[in-house]
Amino acid sequence: MEEVTRIRREITREVFDYQVLTDALSGYSKPRDKITKLLSGDAIVRIKKGLYCFGEGLRREPVSREQVANLIYGPSYVSLDYALSYHGLIPERVEVVTSVTTRRSRSFETPLGPFSYRMLNEARYVTGAILEATGKTTFLIATPEKALVDKIWTDRRFSGKRLSDFGAYLLDDLRIDEEALGRLNESRLESIALACDSAKINRLVCYLRRLRRVSDA
């Protein structure tokens, strides 16, 4: 137990990589054997190859699944359904931490739950992420506007070919509150739409402008 306490003291973060772990075990002649022992005793948890967190009994604060999502597969940031829920745009609690990336789409099953990644090209990826913080932990997540754009862009069930289609999709299918749509930042949406260069996303911007005009009337 004293050894585990020392390792916990040396590693200040809740989530850490293999290099940090081996540095903390540099005094051992066989650090890999020690890692196996720590894993079997639930002192540490392997999230994926090369990425770890402390077991529940040693955690100083909850592990941020949003930060873990950034670290599992990158470059990436949290977006789509999980970000929509995080920002309070949709009522459902989303279990899968969804992200966007410039790499190929992938999914991971981990001891901390499922994580999924959807590929965007570089132009659509670079605009719309912000740095958020939970306690001492920071992570990248899409703005509400970018999360919505990413959802619409990647949702193959919704063609968005007509402006009249957006009302049913946003209000009935996604169940986004109309007032929440009105709070979206128009200039951010326009910047994101410019980067996307998509008729589908341009129609989203037009629909939201029309919705705002009706609300203001």
Name the percent of the chain lying above pLDDT 70.
98
Instruction: Please confirm whether the linkage preceding 75 is cis (ω < 30° from 0).
Output: yes
Per-residue model confidence (pLDDT) at position 118: 98
CA proximity to 24, closest of 58, 65, 56, 48: 58
How do the domains of the chain map onto residue ranges?
A: 2-58, 65-216
What's the CATH architecture for 2-58? Orthogonal Bundle (1.10)
Pair 98, 108: CB distance under 8 Å: no
Pair 70, 78: CB distance under 8 Å: yes
CA distances from 123 to 66, 151, 153, 201, 210 (A): 23, 16, 13, 14, 27
Q: Tokens representing 198?
A: 């998509």
Q: Is the dihedral of CA 34, 39, 45, 49 positive or negative?
A: positive
pLDDT at 25 over 60: yes
Section 33-41 average pLDDT:
94
Beta strand 113-119 pairing with 97-101 = parallel
Per-residue model confidence (pLDDT) at position 143: 98
Pair 139, 76: CB distance under 8 Å: no
The 10s digit of each residue's pLDDT in 138-188 is: 999 999 999 999 999 999 999 999 999 999 999 999 999 888 998 999 999
Long-range contacts of 116-120, Cβ-Cβ distance < 8 Å, separation of 24 or more:
117/73, 117/76, 118/79, 118/80, 118/150, 118/154, 120/150, 120/153
Task: With cut-offs at 50, 70 and 90, classify the pLDDT of residue 215.
Answer: low
Q: What is the pTM of this model?
A: 0.94
CA distances from 194 to 128, 148, 187 (A): 12, 15, 11
CA proximity to 153, closest of 120, 189, 191, 117: 120
CA proximity to 17, closest of 37, 40, 46, 38: 46
Task: With cut-offs at 50, 70 and 90, classify the pLDDT of residue 27.
Answer: confident
Per-residue model confidence (pLDDT) at position 98: 98
